[in-house]
Structure 1
Amino acid sequence: MSVEPLPQDIDPESRCRLPLPDRDELDKDAQKAFDSRANPKGGSLAGLRGPGGIRLHSPELSRGLRPANIRLRDPDVIDARTSELAILITAREHDCQFEWAAHEAESKKEGVSDEVVEIIRHRRPPTGLPEPDAALIIFGRELFGDHRVTPETYARLAALFDRRTLVDLVNLMGMYAMTVASLIAFDAQLPEGTPPGLPPR
């Protein structure tokens, strides 16, 4: 299978429009973040080739976002399955191949069924799905696609989550929409050998 050449403005090391951050130019705290992402055992698919590496070009931003990221990914705040479902919906509604690839397998590991993944991937109606899944899919499509949420959809979601969880869930999706903005603006390429998981636009 032939390897697609990278676009001309893509750095071959970082696989995006920015070079990899220079460790020697970072402060000690940012160097620790660099080292944790550069470590292949760190658990991140993207490592430095993705949002973590992009944000290290602005260490203060990277540092400032960390507490919110830790809170919103805490399974005691939002359970892991709901979190991964929300991230997958966000990736799909922004047509972000990179974020989809980073979370498709993880969402299945956390219990999101193949049926739900395919409904999200192909933007099919969530007919027959359990209410939490159907309500969240419709919410994400309205939020990111229509740029408004109907009273009916909001009421469905508000019936499923208490206020604090609902606020955290919406901000989790917002945080990943922000991540997607970086991935799109800097044209982060899929990891080598990873096929696109979303249909072409």
Structure 2
Amino acid sequence: MLPADVDPISRCRLPLVKREALDEEGQRHFDVNVDPNGGTLRGLIGPGGIQLHSSHLAALARPVNRYLRFETGFSPYTREVAVLITARECDSAFEWAAHEPEALKQGVPQAVIDTIKFRRPTAGLPAEDALIIALGREIFGTRKVSSQTYAKALAHFGQKGLVDLVSLMGNYAATAALLCAFDMQVDDDTTALLPA
């Protein structure tokens, strides 16, 4: 049962944007969102559809999103570990439901996913995974990155890589805020759920 203020079609507090109601720029971004090869995991149901209510914002956000997801040089595996720790620390159920299956597809082991999902210790995980998880937990959990974690992350990723990694995580935290404010609901048949 959806909350009373959630639209049953968009599954959030805003209705789906109608293409014909958008200006030319907005229509281009609408078309990208509905294109199965457009780079979004969920099309109009999710952050892309929400952002279309501000089509200029959608236009500005798209190249940043594309860069952070596909052009930083991070492997899809590394990207998905960073996205999952962000989604988990922000308790973003929709983001988690979209990215847990994507992480599995990109080769992230279930043990790594479960460590993030259930907030388990990282002992025994690959060093890079443990480092990304520690960084995310400090950024979003304690809201202070320790000198030790920072030094390890800088040594591992380098200056550009660390800026890109933190920006990727920040971008998904911004998405989590959008999903939270508009109460984006996961699909009823979703099995990739965060614990309550």
* Fold shared, TM-score > 0.5 on shorter chain: yes
Aligned partners of 1:46 and 1:191 also within 8 Å: no
Please give the alpha-carbon distance, in whole angstroms, between the structure 1 residues aligned to 2:34 and 2:88: 27
Q: Which residue of 1 aligns with 2:111?
A: 115
What is the alpha-carbon distance in structure 2 between the residues aligned to residue 180 and residue 55 of structure 1?
13
Equivalents in 2 of 1:43, 1:88: separation in Å?
18
* Residue identity (%): 52
Distance in 2 of aligned mates of 1:43 and 1:173: 18
Q: Distance in 2 between matches of 1:70 and 1:163?
A: 20
1:45-75 Cα offsets, whole Å, 9 max, x none, are 4211100000000011111111111111125
Q: TM-score, normalised on structure 1? A: 0.92
Q: Structure 1 residue 149 and structure 2 residue 145: aligned?
A: yes
Partner of 1:162: 158
CA contact (8 A) 1:71 1:77 kept: no
Q: Contact 2:46/2:184 (CA < 8 Å) preserved in 1?
A: yes
How many Å apart are 1:105 and its aligned residue? 1.1
1:7-22 mapped onto 2 (5 Å cutoff): 7-22=3-18
CA-based RMSD = 1.5
- Which one is further off, 25-34 or 157-166? 25-34
- Kindly indicate whether the alpha-carbon contact (under 8 Å) linking 2:93 and 2:186 is maintained by their aligned counterparts in 1: yes
TM-score (norm 2): 0.94
The structural deviation recorded for 1:21 is 1.0
Name the one with the larger helix percent. Answer: 2
The reply on whether 1:105 has 2:101 as its aligned counterpart is: yes
Opposite residue 81 of structure 1, the aligned amino acid is: Y
Alpha-carbon separation, structure 2, partners of 1:41 and 1:132? 30
Runs of at least 4 residues off by over 4 Å: 39-43
Q: How many residues align?
A: 196
